[in-house]
Amino acid sequence: MLDATGDEAYLARLEGPLYAVVGFAPDIAFYMSGADPYRGDRLGRLGLTREGLARRDHLVLSRCLRVGIPVVVTLAGGYATALEETVEIHCTTIRTAARLLREA
């Protein structure tokens, strides 16, 4: 990924590898849901919005759920200037997982 990669480019690049992993049909997936791609992160150099990160979470989790791959979610990274932003990004990941499980 290039520095300052935004939502659309990031999500488009995620499609191929995600499709390959799901097609491989592993017994379990470990999803490291990092907050460091956030554009407000002091250390990460990507440029995703909070909405883009939420779309990433939904994409990964829904694909695994759809084909029956159990997922372990680990929260990682996140060095936004405002701690509340990092916390909210991680909370959104958990809310997304909970919503998808309720809808399944």
46-83 pLDDT per residue, tens: 999 999 999 999 999 999 999 999 999 999 989 999 99
Angstrom distance (rounded) from CA 69 to CA 28:
6
Q: Give this prediction's pTM.
A: 0.93
Cβ atoms 84, 48 nearer than 8 A: no
Please give the pLDDT value at position 3: 86
Which residues 6+ apart lie within 8 Å of 7 measured at CB?
A: 48, 49, 51, 52, 55
Q: Residue 61 CB: number of other CB atoms within 10 A? A: 22
13-36 pLDDT per residue, tens: 999 999 999 999 999 999 999 999
Question: What's the rounded mean pLDDT across residues 35-42?
Answer: 95
